């Protein structure tokens, strides 16, 4: 039987791990957990209706400073609850269209939010720093 920390998402068939590929290192498992926290809407997870940021509800909101603050605060609160091993969380929320000057890109990505997250993990067994960008599009 294959051993891993978590099932890799999106689900893919893997001949080595069995029916689904597995994540075998803490770095990628934690990154996937953070993405799941952000992308899951409250009420979507069975038996845990409070789990998730619900980032999709912000897609058609104008990305004002107040909305950006709300998103960052919601992510911080959820990570504190469901991933307490994550430390020094730094979150930047931007519109994808603000990141480039290409007019075609701006038009095609008008409803795209880019969330950049850096963090570190420190436990008795593991220490590392990591970073990822998550694009959420309507």
Between 18 and 121, the higher pLDDT residue: 121
Given this model, what pLDDT does residue 107 score? 61
Q: Is residue 1 part of a domain?
A: no
Given this model, what pLDDT does residue 36 score? 93
Contact of 38 with 91, CB cutoff 8 Å: no
Q: For position 94, which CATH number holds? A: 3.10.450.40
Tokens (6 digits) for 101: 């000057």
**Average pLDDT rounded to a whole number, residues 83-87:** 91
Residue position matching structure tokens 């051993």: 3
Contact of 18 with 1, CB cutoff 8 Å: yes
Between 28 and 71, the higher pLDDT residue: 71
**How many structural domains are present in the chain?**
1
């Amino acid at each position: 039987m294959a051993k891993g920390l978590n099932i890799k998402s999106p689900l893919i068939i893997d001949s080595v791990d069995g029916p689904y590929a597995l994540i075998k290192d803490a770095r990628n498992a934690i990154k996937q957990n953070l993405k799941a926290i952000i992308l899951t809407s409250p009420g979507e997870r069975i038996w845990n209706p409070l789990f998730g940021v619900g980032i999709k509800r912000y897609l058609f909101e104008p990305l004002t400073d107040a909305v950006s603050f709300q998103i960052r605060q919601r992510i911080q609160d959820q990570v504190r609850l469901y991933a307490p091993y994550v430390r020094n969380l730094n979150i930047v929320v931007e519109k994808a269209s603000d990141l480039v000057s290409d007019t075609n890109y701006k038009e095609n990505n008008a409803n795209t939010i880019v969330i950049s997250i850096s963090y570190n993990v420190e436990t008795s067994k593991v220490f590392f720093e990591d970073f990822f960008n998550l694009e959420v599009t309507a």
